Amino acid sequence: MSDFLDVLTNYDILGAYWVNIQLAFFSAVFALLLGLVLAMMRISPVPSLRGFGASYVNLMRNTPLTVIVVFAILVLWPIFNVSFSDNFNQNFFWLAVLSLSLYHASFFCEAIRSGVNTVPVGQAEAARAIGLSFLPAARLVIMPQAFRGAIAPLGNTLIALIKNTTVAAAASVAEVSILMREMIESNGNYVIPIFLTIAVGFVILVIPVGMLTTYLSQKLAVSR
């Protein structure tokens, strides 16, 4: 046991997890904002906007995340010159954030749309009756109630995003899955303890998110 603890002290595990946390945070913010825009498109009275929103969601949800990350690294960066920094590591980090955001925005969109479906039709009709157009009605009436009804699916999407940050390894981002591979390659006799250590780290990150979203979904549930 002491030998394994010595192995752990030779690696910056907390630093690697910090990279995953940053990936999850920035990706969640951007994905939620884009997901909100897409959700507004999907419930819009304009057919072209509904079509674009549906096409984006169907395309992204059915494309493997690894493919999107590799596309960003091999196509967006070298061919289309999409760059966020002159530093390679920083640039790959933000390309990974972009990929995670574009992918998970489709799931955030559907989570928000599921919340919209919990809002009684009479709410929108009442908003129109007092003269509100689509955007004001959505902003003032529909979306506040929709978010309260979508807390649980939003939490589930956030949990999936946290776990999916390991796919950033495809972009050579120095996150925890790359560190785990290095640890296993250098310490093959501790494969199972290393794996369990990394797995427990994700459990520590994910369980509080699940507990918080469960609490908020119950606390902020709209009484019907």
Q: What is the pTM of this model?
A: 0.93
Q: Is residue 101's pLDDT more than 90? A: yes
For residues 122-129, average pLDDT: 84
Q: What angle do CA 116, 47, 136 make, to 5 degrees?
A: 50
For residue 91, being part of any structural domain is answered with yes
Please list, residue by residue across 165-184, b when 16 or more beta carbons sit within 10 angstroms of its beta carbon and e when fewer do: bbbbbbbebbbbbbbbeebb
Answer yes or no: is 98 within a domain.
Answer: yes
Which residue type is seen at 116? V
What pLDDT score was predicted for residue 120? 84
pLDDT at position 134: 86
Q: Which domain holds residue 174?
A: 2-219
* Each residue's pLDDT tens digit, 173-224: 989 999 999 999 988 889 999 999 999 999 999 999 999 999 998 887 665 5
Q: What is the pLDDT of residue 82?
A: 87
How many structural domains does the chain have? 1
Model confidence band, residue 6 (pLDDT cutoffs 50, 70, 90): confident
Higher-confidence residue of 219 and 60: namely: 60
Asked if residue 23 belongs to a domain, the reply is yes
For residue 86, being part of any structural domain is answered with: yes
Q: Is residue 224 in some structural domain?
A: no
Q: Is the pLDDT of residue 78 over 80?
A: yes
Coil, strand, or helix at residue 79? coil
Q: Please tell me the predicted confidence (pLDDT) of residue 38.
A: 97
DSSP letters, 137-178, are HIIIIIHHHHHHHTHHHHHHHHHHHHHHGGGGGGGT---HHH
The confidence score (pLDDT) of residue 42 equals 94
Q: For residue 59, tell me if it sits in a domain.
A: yes
Angle between helices 176-186 and 13-42 (to 10 degrees): 140
Q: What is the CATH number of the domain that holds 144?
A: 1.10.3720.10
What pLDDT, on the 0 to 100 scale, is given for residue 222? Answer: 61
140 occurs within a structural domain:
yes
Average pLDDT rounded to a whole number, residues 24-42: 97
166 in a structural domain = yes
